[in-house]
Amino acid sequence: MNRQAIDPSTPAPPCSAAQAQQAYLWACTLDVAVRKPGNVSLHSAGHDMRAQQFLDSARASAPALFDPRAGVGARIEAAVRATRAVAGCNTNLGILLLCAPLARAHERWAAVPAPAASTAAHGSAPSAPRSTPRSAPRSAPELAPQLAAREALHAALEAVLQALDLDDARAAYRAIATAHPGGLGSAPEQDVANEPGVGLRAAMRLAAGRDLIARQYANGFADVFGLGLTAFATPAPADAVDLAQRVQRVYLAWLSTHPDSHIVRKQGEVVARAVSTEAARWRDRLGEDPQAATGADFAAWDVSLKGRGLNPGTSADLTVCTLFVAALLDPGLLTLDAAAGTVAGEGGPAVAAVLMERSLLTAEASAATDPGIVPRIAT
């Protein structure tokens, strides 16, 4: 590992290895616990898929995604195969492509020795990462991760992206072939149907103009750290926007700002831009009245998109990625879920069930990462 790529004076990660895997499961659970129009959720199945398949995919893919012995491409390939075995279809290729380099980046960051300033007086060891429970989201100034930590994760990610090689590309290409995403089509250079001739980041750069996930590889996830985290930050007053509404705000930010790549591939750019216009109207409406997301009109838009066969899957993948980054930088978010009243009002017993599922998943993740950890199981 080339530790010189990361400034050794950077702060230690606020998120432990066990919490990093929990952050991934937390983000994947919110993906289906919150209604995001056009996407599969506990509130509404669609596109011949059910929410349980996405939860099964999260459980199956996590061990491979956080395997410290594997490179980024190998993690993606193993996670896709594990997903396919339990879900029988492509539920999370985009999520895995986005989260694999971030999982590796967190490991790089954690491997950098903590600066002397972070060591307590008299030579004692640095304190363990803290996860402070809170009953409500904090205001934007409180929620925003410290700049140093955010820059450290971003720097580690850039180092990971720069190191991606031909083996990573080959493994990722095999993963894409296994997942078999809809509407993929062909490309004039480095088509995924052929053997790659360049490293994974170089291949992604060739596709960055037509695919938002590839664009993140090309620009160092600038959109995730910019558009995504900005949308997730809570405006004052903090108690005016709950967790579900913050997730919906991230989703609508992606969908309204960028034509969804999945829709572009399957239905064309004109249709995708029309959906972005619809999303912009809802983004503005929820900005004025966040509670409108629990109303009949929002649910009707969800039904309408699915009835037209429109699945903003790339926007969903980028939403999950944004949530994952947010939790890596602020593990206190892992204490926030629908059980605190943020989603339960709309989902009822189904949401309560998925929260128990997440508790079990995070318990497994903690035990696998550190057998000495006995996580709290919500009841």
Q: Which long-range contacts (CB under 8 A, 24 or more apart) does 188-191 make?
A: none
Is pTM beyond 0.75? Reply is yes
Q: Which long-range contacts (CB under 8 A, 24 or more apart) does 284-293 make?
A: 286/245, 286/248, 286/249, 286/252, 287/249, 290/240, 290/241, 290/242, 290/245, 293/35, 293/244, 293/245, 293/248
Q: Which CATH superfamily is domain 9-115+133-369 in?
A: Triphosphoribosyl-dephospho-CoA protein (1.10.4200.10)
Query: According to the model, what pLDDT value does residue 184 have?
Result: 52
**Least confident window among 213-217, 241-245, 324-328, 331-335:** 241-245
| Per-residue pLDDT band at 191 (split at 50, 70, 90) | low
Structure tokens at 88: 């029988």
- Domain layout of the chain by residue ranges: 9-115+133-369
| Per-residue pLDDT band at 137 (split at 50, 70, 90) | very low
